Chains A and B, each alone.
Chain A
């Protein structure tokens, strides 16, 4: 399966990655290769095999509804590029 350049740009946008035109061509080839390999894997008959979403056979890992101390706002905001009124300040978000 071959991806076209537009599809690569769409994927890059979803991942918020900025690609140069050269990058687009490079990743078009690499991603196409990955997809082709999956096409090969798809030839295996898995009709009787349940899908594996988790590599470890864990089930029902739950916690009781108990409140634990949170971090201080100082620690929470330690990596904030900018802060204001105890909040993270970010570029304008348009609805």
Chain B
């Protein structure tokens, strides 16, 4: 039987605020020693009062707007009650009935086809403490609690069950990740857990509208893991269904080493959260002025930037997509094109820069696991190198070596060329015979030059560069040619 796959994703993104969601403790806990960013509020002591971080609300509203959501005028926080040691208060402050936004969408592209994926809601909540599981020498296992992460602003983005394949889920996740980075509201680091994803997966006979039990998949710590886990899970469900087995609603964890999802013992009564309005936090009124002000600050988003790159620089859709996934890459690209050469040169330069960025640059970034913002090679360095290619100092092959050297050492192209003497023919003796050949073969240009046409000399220099496949020093060629032509009759 043909089956249809149904996937919905739930993303939790930590917001890049300075302080926590409801107290003034620093939200930057990544490298802090345990329990150093904690106060009675985020520790959940009785009698304390939380206060909403305004920046977090702005960031969440900004995200909701970028995802085409509707922002209601009234929103409020609720208590989600469940007992777990990572939850200091015994409840998490979250949003239930009146989230700060609903009904949005984003566009993904798979195999050249665009699809709109619905966003059910974007709401604001708080992160929980971190647990470490240990075993003491007697074999007794126990847990350690570090409260630093407790209360860090967390935004939840829930999609509609609109995705029909693991590819679509991956594209959705990458697009969402890209949008959050453009907005600058989240680091997006999946390994460190600042951008986390759970999935709801089910299958059903193609064409039917029946609901089959859905499985929640957790523990996916990279885009690749999400794709692999979903592909595995869809296949597993299909097999169970085909063999006449019974699918059950459950939570399964992705185990990277096994390359499989594994059933997690379901927590009893796990879904009895008994939400009720958070009495410690007065409701929020999101005035239209507040919302419009945030809307006016929205940056150009990935899709719009891709479309502009296509029209402004005549890039292919494929290249424009790749260049605009990361804001840092798109910025780098545009910095390289300032100032933009005129006319047809502009298109050529854009294409050349795109090729270098998507080729060598991306390859080296991946190989060295360096992020663009930490790259030593600057846009100015790259542009200078391209000029050395244009004027014949460097061949494209040599440029690759130079580029790698620039990437590793942070030096300019001319510095690298000079230091490495990169195969340049820089002694007069080596050049003499080539000069002789070029002069002999271009008598017209030689005559023109002798009659005072400077252009002709440029042409001859070019011929020498060509004959040496770019390995001669153009300055030296220029001088040697002048000297020879002045002496010869």
Residues of A within 8 A of B (CB): 10, 13-14, 16, 53-54, 56, 58-71, 73, 76-77, 84-95
CB of B281 closer than 8 Å to a CB of A: yes
CB of B299 closer than 8 Å to a CB of A: no
Q: Which of B25, B52, B57, B145 is A90 in contact with, Cβ under 8 Å?
A: B145
Give A18 to B77 CA distance when docked, in angstroms.
30
Q: Check if B43 sits within 8 Å of A76, measured CB to CB.
A: yes
The residue of chain A having its C-beta at the shortest distance from the C-beta of B134 within the complex is A84
CB-CB contacts below 8 Å: B1-32 with A: 17-19, 23-26
CB-CB contacts below 8 Å: B67-125 with A: 76, 81, 83-86
Q: Check if A58 sits within 8 Å of B282, measured CB to CB.
A: yes
Give A60 to B272 CA distance when docked, in angstroms.
29
Main secondary structure of the interface of B (DSSP, over half): loop
10 new A-B pairs (CB below 8 Å) besides A64-B55, A86-B35? A58-B282, A62-B57, A71-B39, A76-B35, A85-B144, A86-B34, A87-B132, A88-B145, A89-B142, A93-B131
Q: Check if B282 sits within 8 Å of A59, measured CB to CB.
A: yes
With A89-B142, A91-B142 already in contact, the answer to whether A65 and B35 are too (CB < 8 A) is: no
CB of B352 closer than 8 Å to a CB of A: no
Q: Check if B39 sits within 8 Å of A70, measured CB to CB.
A: yes
Q: Which of B57, B133, B144, B265 is A84 in contact with, Cβ under 8 Å?
A: B144
CB of B207 closer than 8 Å to a CB of A: no
A84 — which chain B residues lie within 8 A by C-beta?
144
Q: Check if A87 sits within 8 Å of B54, measured CB to CB.
A: no
The residue of chain B having its C-beta at the shortest distance from the C-beta of A77 within the complex is B35
Give A86 to B129 CA distance when docked, in angstroms.
14
Give A59 to B286 CA distance when docked, in angstroms.
10
B86 — which chain A residues lie within 8 A by C-beta?
93
CB of B483 closer than 8 Å to a CB of A: no
Q: How far is the CB of B88 from chain A (nearest CB, A)?
A: 10
Give A94 to B267 CA distance when docked, in angstroms.
10
A71 — which chain B residues lie within 8 A by C-beta?
38-40
CB of B311 closer than 8 Å to a CB of A: no
CB of B283 closer than 8 Å to a CB of A: yes
Q: Check if B51 sits within 8 Å of A93, measured CB to CB.
A: no
Q: Check if B19 sits within 8 Å of A68, measured CB to CB.
A: yes
With A65-B53, A86-B33, A91-B142 already in contact, the answer to whether A59 and B269 are too (CB < 8 A) is: no
A93 — which chain B residues lie within 8 A by C-beta?
84-86, 131, 133, 143
Q: Check if B38 sits within 8 Å of A13, measured CB to CB.
A: no
A66 — which chain B residues lie within 8 A by C-beta?
18-19, 24
Q: Check if B269 sits within 8 Å of A13, measured CB to CB.
A: yes
Q: Which of B23, B38, B285 is A76 in contact with, Cβ under 8 Å?
A: B38
Q: Check if B282 sits within 8 Å of A90, measured CB to CB.
A: no
CB-CB contacts below 8 Å: B152-205 with A: none
Give A70 to B253 CA distance when docked, in angstroms.
35
Interface size class of B (residues with CB under 8 A): 35 or more
A56 — which chain B residues lie within 8 A by C-beta?
282
9 residue pairs from A and B, CB less than 8 Å apart? A14-B269, A54-B277, A56-B282, A61-B281, A62-B51, A67-B19, A67-B26, A68-B23, A87-B35
Q: How far is the CB of A90 from chain B (nearest CB, A)?
A: 5
A14 — which chain B residues lie within 8 A by C-beta?
81, 83, 269, 272, 274
The 5 closest A-B pairs by CB, nearest first: A68-B24, A53-B277, A65-B55, A87-B144, A58-B282
Give A77 to B279 CA distance when docked, in angstroms.
27
The residue of chain A having its C-beta at the shortest distance from the C-beta of B26 within the complex is A67
Q: Check if A63 sits within 8 Å of B83, measured CB to CB.
A: no
Q: Check if A88 sits within 8 Å of B144, measured CB to CB.
A: yes
B277 — which chain A residues lie within 8 A by C-beta?
53-54
Q: How far is the CB of A72 from chain B (nearest CB, A)?
A: 8
Q: Which of A59, A87, A88 is B285 in contact with, Cβ under 8 Å?
A: A59
With A68-B19, A71-B39, A85-B144 already in contact, the answer to whether A62 and B52 are too (CB < 8 A) is: yes
With A59-B282, A67-B18, A77-B35 already in contact, the answer to whether A90 and B85 are too (CB < 8 A) is: yes
Give A93 to B265 CA distance when docked, in angstroms.
13
CB of B437 closer than 8 Å to a CB of A: no
The residue of chain B having its C-beta at the shortest distance from the C-beta of A63 within the complex is B51
Give A59 to B39 CA distance when docked, in angstroms.
25
CB of B56 closer than 8 Å to a CB of A: yes
Q: Check if A89 sits within 8 Å of B144, measured CB to CB.
A: yes
Q: How far is the CB of A43 from chain B (nearest CB, A)?
A: 22
Give A66 to B55 CA distance when docked, in angstroms.
10
With A14-B269, A14-B272, A68-B25 already in contact, the answer to whether A54 and B54 are too (CB < 8 A) is: no
Q: How far is the CB of B43 from chain A (nearest CB, A)?
A: 6
Q: Check if A60 sits within 8 Å of B284, measured CB to CB.
A: yes
A67 — which chain B residues lie within 8 A by C-beta?
18-19, 24-26
Q: Check if B25 sits within 8 Å of A92, measured CB to CB.
A: no
Q: Check if A94 sits within 8 Å of B265, measured CB to CB.
A: yes
Q: Check if A73 sits within 8 Å of B51, measured CB to CB.
A: no
Give A48 to B452 CA distance when docked, in angstroms.
97
Q: Check if A87 sits within 8 Å of B145, measured CB to CB.
A: yes
With A10-B269, A68-B19, A92-B142 already in contact, the answer to whether A62 and B85 are too (CB < 8 A) is: no
B85 — which chain A residues lie within 8 A by C-beta?
90, 93
Q: Check if B146 sits within 8 Å of A87, measured CB to CB.
A: yes
